[in-house]
């Protein structure tokens, strides 16, 4: 039995369009935010997503998150309960006007590294921008996959960041007018090989485990997705491949081999077609099915159900699929925060309900 993670309260100061907002959800398994477009519903989910390592569900710069017209900094405070016997966990994270791209964090009043957030809870999210996941560039699917991996392997973010740093440095050498220093290239390639192998292994293991979880889940009203990781094969001697490819990479002006070239290929199993060729509604259903299966996998593997942030997730679902979504999210056992413009779509959902208008949160 997994332990639920509940955000019992959240407070925002000068965050996006929220001047000063506070929401108390208690131990509600579902938290619903409704209101018109632009009211600030997604901003609340974005703030919550900052309780995970990384740049949040929009991938935005921290300086863009401060309230428009404010002094450039914001503050986020949240209370987490994972085990009533252990008490509350208090998070406070903020930026300041003099360092708008530097975010600081305290946990129970003590300074903490942002990379350590994964030890407290895992978060998974869906946003309307992800509706194009299967038709957009491979980079978006890699980011999606890495978020799934991170929920199972918190160290994955560190390895991916170190690989990316070495990759950027190597690409700069490749693009320079002078021939790159072989010793410096070899050092960067060794770093890419070390961390790239760990990135590739973690991705491969996650796709394999998730595929098994999907296969064991009754299809129901959501189509079964088939997953395949392409271009990211574990066990390849990446250092040797990079050394052999230096001339071709220099001609191209970029590195042509490595896990940064990977892609997550998804198929609609029942129709035996790539997800990109499925209808818009089917693509949304495949994405939801993938996320729900992964949430169940995280709960099973880690013993703690992840927090789900579902932004406008039901907008294009019929009544049957909405009910199936609510049922499967509840079965995972964690907390699910949802947004929507039409409150009537959630009539069948027992939830703590809030209305958001112009950056103001009200019980509703």
Q: Supply the pLDDT for residue 83.
A: 75
Residue 1 has pLDDT above 60, yes or no: no
DSSP tag of 103: E
Secondary structure (DSSP) of 183-230: HHHHHHHHHHHHHHHHHHHHHHHHHHHHHHHHHTS--TTSPPEEEEEE
Confidence of residue 235 (pLDDT cuts 50, 70, 90): low
In this prediction, residue 233 carries a pLDDT of 62
% residues pLDDT > 70 (the chain): 97
Res. 189: pLDDT tops 60: yes
pLDDT(50) > 60: yes
Q: In this predicted model, what pLDDT tens digit does every residue of 85-125 receive, in sequence order?
A: 778 999 999 999 889 899 999 999 999 999 888 888 889 99
Can you read off the two tokens belonging to residue 115?
């990379």
Residue 186 makes CB contacts below 8 A (sequence gap 6+) with 239, 243
* Mean per-residue pLDDT over the chain, rounded: 92
What the block records as the tokens of 195 is: 């961390």
**Between 298 and 117, the higher pLDDT residue:** 298
| Percentage of the residues of the chain whose pLDDT score is greater than 90 | 81
Q: What is the pLDDT of residues 123-181, one digit of tens each?
A: 999 999 999 999 999 999 999 999 999 999 988 989 999 999 999 999 999 999 888 89
Q: What is the pTM of this model?
A: 0.90
Looking at the DSSP bridge assignments, the partners of residue 336 are: 30, 308
Q: Which of 77, 142, 134 is closest to 108 using CA atoms?
A: 77
Q: Considering only 12-26, 226-240, 348-362, which range has the smallest mean pLDDT?
A: 226-240
pLDDT of residue 119: 84
- Residues 101/102/105/109 CA torsion (nearest 10 deg): -120
| Assigned token pair, 32 | 């619903």
| Residue 54 pLDDT | 83
What number of other Cβ atoms are within 10 A of residue 200's Cβ? 23
Rounded CA gap, 34 and 57, in Å?
19
């Amino acid at each position: 039995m997994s332990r639920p993670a509940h955000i019992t309260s959240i407070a925002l100061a000068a965050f996006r369009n929220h001047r000063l907002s506070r929401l108390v959800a208690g131990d509600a398994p579902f938290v619903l935010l409704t209101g018109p477009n632009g009211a600030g519903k997604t901003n609340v989910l974005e703030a919550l997503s900052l309780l995970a390592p990384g740049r949040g569900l929009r991938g935005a710069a921290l300086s863009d998150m401060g309230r428009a017209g404010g002094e450039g900094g914001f503050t986020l405070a949240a209370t987490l309960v994972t085990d009533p016997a252990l008490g509350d966990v208090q998070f406070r994270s903020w930026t300041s006007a003099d360092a708008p791209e530097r975010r600081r964090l305290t946990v129970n009043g003590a300074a903490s590294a942002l990379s350590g957030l994964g030890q407290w809870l895992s978060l998974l999210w869906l946003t309307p921008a992800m509706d194009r996941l299967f038709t957009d560039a491979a980079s978006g699917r890699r980011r999606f996959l890495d978020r799934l991996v991170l929920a199972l392997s918190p160290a994955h973010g560190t390895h991916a960041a170190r690989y990316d740093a070495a990759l950027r440095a190597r690409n700069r050498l490749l693009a320079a007018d002078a021939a790159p220093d072989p010793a410096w290239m070899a050092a960067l390639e060794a770093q890419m090989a070390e961390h790239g192998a760990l990135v590739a292994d973690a991705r491969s293991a996650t796709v394999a485990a998730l595929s098994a979880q999907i296969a064991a889940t009754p299809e129901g009203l959501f189509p079964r997705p088939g997953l395949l990781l392409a271009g990211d094969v574990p066990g390849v001697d990446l250092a040797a491949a990079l050394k052999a490819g230096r001339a071709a990479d220099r001609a191209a002006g970029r590195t042509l081999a490595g896990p940064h070239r990977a892609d997550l290929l998804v198929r609609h199993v029942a129709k035996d077609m790539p997800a990109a060729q499925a209808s818009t509604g089917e693509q949304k259903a495949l994405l939801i099915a993938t996320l729900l299966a992964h949430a169940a996998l995280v709960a099973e593997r880690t013993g703690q159900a992840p927090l789900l942030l579902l932004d406008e997730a039901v907008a294009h679902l019929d009544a049957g699929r909405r009910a199936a979504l609510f049922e499967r999210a509840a079965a995972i056992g964690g907390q699910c925060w949802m947004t929507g413009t039409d409150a009537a779509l959630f009539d069948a959902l027992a939830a703590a309900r809030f209305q958001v208008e112009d950056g103001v949160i009200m019980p509703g």
